[in-house]
Structure 1
């Protein structure tokens, strides 16, 4: 792997530069495509790269400066340990489940070298609407995808059933005001992706009355 040079992050009260055109950034965003977790392999991001990914992820709109999200990182042996828990839950819920399904659950977090759980954490009551706080967590997930791409990694934002299971939430230590915004898988893309069908954007322009 080539040497990684982390970007220079600003500190509080730094004067930020005026945005300038970047054909490279536009090109990457125009061609951004999720890499399926099953199409990933190692290596994953180094500790320095992972730290940078998370710092970039956190640079999102955040009305009220509430930081309405946090991260749970799964790497190393934590991934199969999480999979063993998922397998045990499926065994309890579906005694008839076959080995194929059990193996799927057991290996879920082994599909990528690193999985980053993005946890939406809302403050209620607050003058900042709950919906805006939740959207901020979604922006964190998207920033992770873009930053991973810029580092040369594939990434996929998933939820799947375990993101909504109360037992899993408890095992992750989620509070009543928290929920899983997504699990972002990050690794080396082992298989080339192909473009999927995309619908043209649905656009209207306000003319003074509803169209």
Structure 2
């Protein structure tokens, strides 16, 4: 049986995904970003808990984040890391009390929203890279983002324009058979 992809734009966007470590100063407006967030928030979400939130960092916000990163690392001044893109979107897992949905599953939802948003931003013409670091779990960085006790920072989407001189990504296609298998047959199944 052959599967026909009816929306090749979606397939092409997913198959062509890459990280952009270098971007230009172009960035989506708040309204453009909000429209994409509304679509990204449609990921599978057991019990519709919406255990995530996003924080938009632009301009001086990036300087404040740089100071928090340096404080977390025991340095003075501000790290220049947040200056690598004109827009950073902090991805926050905002855990909800639930007898049905474990913490790991809620974190997976937050990660799914971030990944979906990165695909939408890429399709809209922006370069994106999801950056993390050990300081995402630091008190200084958590305070800078206004995180609550039930929240964890999963990293930032660094967003900017795609440089005109950018070369194609280095990612090679995966070999699906290395990662896709059937459930093993157990002794009880063999009779």
Q: What is the TM-score with the length of structure 1 in the denominator?
A: 0.76
Q: Contact 1:42/1:187 (CA < 8 Å) preserved in 2?
A: yes
User: SS of the counterpart of 2:91?
Assistant: strand
Match of residue 187 from structure 1: 160
SS of alignment partner, residue 118 of structure 1: strand
Report how many residues are paired: 179
1:145–1:155 contact (8 Å) kept in structure 2:
yes
- Deviation per CA, 1:147-193, whole angstroms, max 9, x where unpaired? 01110111011111221212211232212221012211111122334
Structure 2: any 5+ residue segments left out of the alignment? none
Q: Residue 29 of structure 2 corresponds to which residue in structure 1?
A: 46
Task: Quote the residue 1:203 is aligned against.
Answer: 180
Aligned pair 1:138/2:121, yes or no?
no
Aligned counterpart in structure 2 of residue 79 of structure 1, from 62, 66, 76: 62
- 8 Å CA contact 2:89–2:156 kept in 1: the answer is yes
Q: Does 1:25 align with 2:7?
A: no
1:162 aligns to 2:135 (yes or no)? yes
Give the aligned CA root-mean-square deviation in angstroms.
Answer: 2.2
How high is the TM-score relative to the length of structure 2?
A: 0.83
- In structure 2, the residue corresponding to 1:45 is in which secondary structure? coil
CA distance in structure 1 between the aligned counterparts of 2:68 and 2:46, rounded to whole angstroms: 36
1:175 alignment partner, one of 130, 142, 148:
148
**Residues 88 and 206 of structure 1: is their aligned pair in 2 closer, same or farther, counting only changes over 3 Å?**
closer
User: What is the CA distance between 1:57 and its match in structure 2?
Assistant: 2.1
Matches within 5 A, 1:63-78: 63-78=46-61
Contact kept? 2:68, 2:140, Cα under 8 Å? no
Q: Which residue of structure 1 aligns with residue 19 of structure 2?
A: 34
